[in-house]
Amino acid sequence: MHRGSRAGMATSCNTVAFGEYGLQCLERAWIDTKQIEAARVAINRFMKRRGKVWIRVFPQKSFTKKPLETRMGKGKGPLESWVAVVKPATVMFEVDGVTEAIAREAMRLAATKLPISMKFISRHRLG
Amino acid sequence: MKSVSLTAFSRSVVKRTGVKKLRSAGRVPAVIYGGQTKPQNLEIGVKDLENVVHHSASENVLLDLAVNGASHLALIKEIQHNPLTGEMLHVDLHAVSANEKVTISVPVEPTGEAVGVKTGGGVLEHVVFKLKIRATPKDLPEVIYVDVAALEIGKSIHLSEITLPPGVEALGKKNILVFTVAAPVTEAQEAAAEAAAGPAEVEMIKEKKEDGEAAPAKAGDKAAEKAPAKGDEKKPAEKKK
């Protein structure tokens, strides 16, 4: 199967566009639906219905996998899952309507659910 | 807007390799254009530029630029940053005349805590982050502050309700929503949203084996695979004979 290119840095989705604070990727990866959902739940649980959350990535790439203990051949394997391709600088989540301390902790919890290192960023970062 | 003095030097290197060397030497490539001046490539000390930008409320800064003895009044039009490190990569400067009106985008910031947020538990939604305005360079504000203290849940502030400094004219439609206070999300609403937002189960296309058939197939996997193959091979051979 064609796995696509993950080279370079993100040229879009690389700034805080909707909220006040964001969570930015520092590495490249395939982030699957379960990881995105786990991170979203972690943010919402910590923020306790305060503020607003944006998810800036969508798992639009599917991938297939051969079942275990199967011989090669006999056609393509079945659909395994859906993933979002993220590159360094992609802003995955944004929040607004909460203090910086709350946003920072919520993003820290979300980052623990993801397989790559992340960075907390603010809209007001200058220079 | 008060002008800040800054020194720049004319630049001859334009290619990628040269510009990279320039950056590593602590200079930022820049360009100045507009007004009566011809476009000119410049380089600015990164420390000087950071000092100017960090001491202003936004990246809209009016510069009194000294280039090889000549003086220019210029606005910072755009600063390109590295999206990961925030390092300045390039600066666009717009040469302006002190008496001519210019159009720029200025950030809008809320001041005070909205009543709807303080007492009602609502969320202040910042819809428009930058406003396009027109004014002479000396009248340009760095940031437009809007008092949102009186905003209750469900109430909004539109562009027409924002008081601008004297000499400043807002461009665009007057009914644009700038700030609003949304009602707090109830537990029931959150549960419904979570149910809707949850990932839909991916439809797995897998071969389903019935319980009775699966066990013997597993035990004699190799035999089961080889048996029909052998049979197939033999049949055409027999026909040949």
Domains for chain A: give ranges and CATH numbers. Answer: 21-64+79-126 (3.90.1170.10)
Quote the CA–CA distance of A107 and B90 in Å, as a whole number.
30
Q: Do B112 and B184 fall within a single domain?
A: yes
- Say yes or no for a CB contact (<8 Å) between B84 and A89: yes
Kindly write down the DSSP assignment for every residue of B77-140, as one continuous string. EEEEE-TTT--EEEEEEEE--TTS-EEEEEEEEEES--HHHHTT--EEEE---EEEEEE-GGG-
Domain holding B93, by residue range, is 4-97
Quote the CA–CA distance of A36 and A45 in Å, as a whole number.
14
Residue of A nearest to B53 (CA): A127
Q: Do B120 and B81 fall within a single domain?
A: no
Q: What's the gap in Å between the CA of B74 and the closest CA on chain A?
A: 19
User: B183 falls in which pLDDT band (50, 70, 90)?
Assistant: confident
Domain count, chain B: 2
Quote the CA–CA distance of A89 and A26 in Å, as a whole number.
6
CATH of the domain at B115: 2.170.120.20
Q: Do B91 and B113 fall within a single domain?
A: no
Q: Do B86 and B108 fall within a single domain?
A: no
B50 chain-A contacts, CB cut-off 8 A? 127
CATH of the domain at B11: 2.40.240.10
Q: Is the pLDDT of residue B233 over 70?
A: no
Q: Do B110 and B161 fall within a single domain?
A: yes
Residue type, B121: G
Helix H segments across chain A?
Answer: 33-47, 100-112
Residue type, B200: A
Q: What percent of chain B has pLDDT over 70?
A: 80
Q: What's the whole-model pTM score? A: 0.78
H/E element, B188: helix B187-197
H/E element, B232: helix B221-240
Residue A77 vs residues A5, A56, A104, B85: alpha-carbon distances, Å: 21, 30, 41, 41
ipTM summary value? 0.82
Closest to A119 in 3D by CA, of A33, A16, A37, A42: A16
Write the pLDDT tens digit of every residue in B51-99.
999 888 888 899 999 998 888 899 999 999 999 998 999 999 999 998 8
- Say yes or no for a CB contact (<8 Å) between A79 and B203: yes
